[in-house]
A and B are shown apart, each in its own frame.
Chain A
Amino acid sequence: MALDRKTTEQMARLARLRLDPEQAADVAEDLSRILDMIDRIEEVDTAGVEPLAHPLHLAQPLRPDEVINAPDRDRLQQSAPDVLEGYFRVPRSVE
């Protein structure tokens, strides 16, 4: 299944990726191949097979409800591009 240009651009926008036209063509080709592979998988008769949400046959382990993390703001904010009075500062996100 070939992915058209419009869908590719929409995917890129949703993922916040900026693609120049050449890259977009490459990505479209790669994604089309992945979709072809999925089409092939879909040919397999899976009637009576339970849907698989995770490849491991294990259940989610649960942890007790305990606060174990102490405040560590300065260290955690070291990689933030911009902070202000303990807040992360970002460009205004509403009009």
Chain B
Amino acid sequence: MEFEPVIGLEVHAQLATSSKLFCGCSTRYGAEANTQTCPVCLGMPGSLPVLNREAVRMAVMMGQAVEAEVRGRSVFARKNYFYPDLPKGYQISQYELPVIEHGRLRIEPDEGAPKLIGITRIHMEEDAGKSLHEGFGEGVTAIDLNRTGTPLIEIVSEPDMRSPAEAVAYLKKLHSMVRYLEICDGNMQEGSFRCDANVSIRPAGREEFGTRTELKNLNSFRNVERAIHYEMARQQEVIEDGGHVFQETRLWDADAGHTRSMRSKEEANDYRYFPDPDLLPLEVSETLVDEARSSLPELPDAKRERFMEAYGLKDYDASVLTTSRELADYYERVVATGADPKLAANWTMVELLGALNKDGTEITESPISAEDLGRLVQRIEDETISGKIAKQVFEPMYAEGADPDTIIEREGLKQITDTSAIEATVEEVIAENEAQVQQYLDGKEKVLGYFVGQVMKKTGGKANPQQVNQVVKERLDAKKG
């Protein structure tokens, strides 16, 4: 039987505020344990939460970016459960009345057609602390509550995705979106952008959904794809063996390459939500909505369209260059130097991104400035160097951060376009290779390439190849007499 997966994602994004959601503690990552805490985030009796305005503005921006409705009045609720890294015994979240509802996101998966994915809701909540189970002795868990109370938005999609590729495309798009909006740093390793996946399968063509499992611990795009693939196969096997899929939470183990059931406690999903009496309803004012809207930057789709139109780029190239706002800005600065946009796109994507990816460096840390890369492209355009030599110039530029003109000068890489110099070298090569000359005269025209190669070798690749070709042919043909 043919099966089809039904996938919905829940994404948690840490908001890039300076202070926590309900108190004035710092949200900085990596501080010494428990030095960013106070009576409010530690859940001390008598303390009261006060909502961070900036976190609300960021949540509203996200809502606007996915064309969703911003609820004028929303309510914070307590989600009750006990865990050592949740000092209050409840997480302040939103339940029945979230701040954002009914959005959508356009995705372009690697396989298959572009598609709109529905966004059910986006709500605000606070993060929990961190539990460290290793390195503190037998039977000990160490708790760091610096992260407790860090603002999060949870973005819940509709179960609209039908393949792992679509799920990854959706996640990548959201990831790019939060970074464009500068509301989240998107760091998946540090956990500031996290994803859970709800996965079920059903016989192809059937309307009704199967029983879903929730996959956790998907800390990279690759793991999202692998975990969903694994889970689809596992569920299919269960069904084909005549069994039933249980609704449960499963943990992805990237090293083992499988998901495993998390010991399902009977109370695991009994959170007894109720409106938090410590917090009044959140009213998002017109002023705040306008403020969020006016701070919306040009979003990835709009930028991609503009790159295609203004710079004549292909869809793929425009997509790659607009993956992040920083990369798009870099590219536009290269073009601003007067470099040809298509050539600039090539050099940014192929050479620069290639080198950066190789050493895991971000575009913002590029050793070559956009202005220098622009100059390099211009040296190809004005024929100071050939495209091939440009790669030789690029390497020291990347290693030393030097500008292209300095490298060209220092290494003597300027292209030889002086006809008399080329002619002299061609004569030399012809004189040194009598046998090949004879072959040419006997009608073996392919040997022309050999002469061109020898000339390029003698000039260290600096001669203008078109000119060399022409001169070699002229001189050899003259011998035919």
Contact = CB atoms under 8 A, between A and B. Distances in A.
A69 B286 CA distance: 31
B280 A76 contact: no
A61 interface: yes
A66 B267 CA distance: 38
Interface residues of B, number: 53
Given A67-B24, A68-B19, A94-B133, A54 B139 contact: no
A90 interface: yes
Contact of B141 (A62, A63, A90): A90
A14 B280 contact: no
15 contacts: A16-B82, A59-B280, A62-B50, A62-B53, A62-B56, A63-B50, A67-B19, A69-B36, A73-B35, A87-B33, A87-B34, A87-B136, A89-B140, A90-B143, A92-B140
Contacts of A86: 32-35
Interface residues of A, number: 36
B411 interface: no
A62 B288 CA distance: 11
Is chain A's binding surface mostly helix, strand, loop or mixed? loop
A48 B329 CA distance: 53
User: Interface centre among A53, A56, A59, A76, by most B CB within 10 Å?
Assistant: A53
Given A14-B80, A93-B133, A67 B18 contact: yes
A53 B75 contact: yes
B282 A64 contact: no
B141 A60 contact: no
B277 A54 contact: yes
A61 B145 CA distance: 25
Contact of A71 (B35, B136, B281, B283): B35
Contact of A93 (B25, B26, B84, B275): B84
A73 B97 CA distance: 36
Contacts of A69: 23-26, 36, 38
B143 A59 contact: no
B138 to A, nearest CB: 8
B240 to A, nearest CB: 31
Contacts of B279: 54, 60
B25 A67 contact: yes
B245 interface: no
Nearest to B139: A92
A61 B272 CA distance: 26
**Which 3 A-B pairs give the minimum distances between C-beta atoms?**
A65-B54, A68-B24, A87-B142
Interface string B32-62: 1111111100100000001111111000000
A84 B138 CA distance: 13
A29 to B, nearest CB: 21
Contacts of A59: 73, 280-283
Contacts of B280: 54, 56, 58-61
A72 interface: yes
A66 to B, nearest CB: 6
Contacts of B83: 93
B142 A76 contact: no
User: Interface centre among A13, A88, A94, by most B CB within 10 Å?
Assistant: A88
Contacts of B42: 76
A89 B145 CA distance: 12
A60 B36 CA distance: 24
Contact of B144 (A16, A87, A92): A87
Interface string B255-294: 0000000010001001010010101111100000000000
A90 B87 CA distance: 12
A29 B33 CA distance: 45
B132 interface: yes
A42 interface: no
